[in-house]
Amino acid sequence: MRAAFEIAVPLIYFNGIVPSQYTPIAPIYLTHDDPIKERVEFQVAWPTAEIKPDFDFDEPARRYATRQAHYRLHQQRFRENVLRAYSRQCAVCRLREVPLLQAAHIIGDTESRGTATVANGIALCAIHHLAYDRNLLGIAPDGVVHIATRLLHEIDGPMLKVGLQGFHGSPIQIPRRPRDRPDPELLEIRFGRFRDAA
Ligand SMILES: [Zn+2]
């Protein structure tokens, strides 16, 4: 690490998400070496910038790249934690196909209460996530699924009938560990928006 710092070579940082799962961030450059505390600091480099050994890429680009890297890591960790809490199943339909599963925020991450914590997340398959985001599917504070009235009265193929209408009134599957369960207060806020949209 010290040698890499001295000659300013780019490195790949493997950030641990969960045990034995890593996200690579590259390139990074070491920017500070503290031999006494035995720690180094690094900076995420702007991937398209021409990197010079003296770190001469402009400050806004560097800040942007660092923020993006933080955000990506944050989101990946959120997804991983939420999916694990829900035993890798959609909380509504129990689908277990991981590539089709997503971690939905109860309160969006651009809002102050929209933290990337498991209690603000629900594992949903892509269709139920989108329906939740578009207020076509609501989850009440008691965990019961509500389908928008408009959709309940529509007639269409099996996706609507079985995949959406079929879950109206049924409870979501909640995580085993109490602290992983969705925060009823957040569900309440979000469910209010679902009702308003209807
Ligand atoms: Zn689903």
Tokens representing 97 are: 């196909």
192 pLDDT tier (thresholds 50, 70, 90)? very high
Q: How far is the CA of 193 from the centre of ligand 1 (A)?
A: 21
185 pLDDT tier (thresholds 50, 70, 90)? very high
Residue 182 pLDDT exceeds 80: yes
Tell me: do 20 and 54 sit in the same domain: yes
Of 106 and 59, the one with more pLDDT: 106
Tokens representing 181 are: 């369960």
Of 83, 107, 134, the domain-final residue = 83
Tell me: do 165 and 94 sit in the same domain: yes
Name the DSSP class of 171: B
Tell me: do 141 and 114 sit in the same domain: yes
pLDDT per residue as tens digits for the range 124-177: 999 999 999 999 999 999 999 999 999 999 999 999 999 999 999 999 999 999
Tell me: do 133 and 190 sit in the same domain: yes
Residue 94: which domain range? 89-197
The pLDDT of residue 93: 98
Q: How far is the CA of 126 from the centre of ligand 1 (A)?
A: 7
Of 33, 49, 83, the domain-final residue = 83
Q: How far is the CA of 100 from the centre of ligand 1 (A)?
A: 9
**Is-contact 155 95, C-beta < 8 A?**
no
Q: How far is the CA of 55 from the centre of ligand 1 (A)?
A: 47
Instruction: Report the domain count for the chain.
Output: 2
Report the number of secondary-structure helices (H) and strands (E) in the chain: 6, 7
Tell me: do 148 and 186 sit in the same domain: yes
Tell me: do 111 and 152 sit in the same domain: yes
Of 48, 83, 118, the domain-final residue = 83
The rounded mean pLDDT for the chain is 88
Tell me: do 110 and 74 sit in the same domain: no
Could you give the CA distance from residue 173 to residue 83 in angstroms, rounded to a whole number? 12
Q: How far is the CA of 89 from the centre of ligand 1 (A)?
A: 8
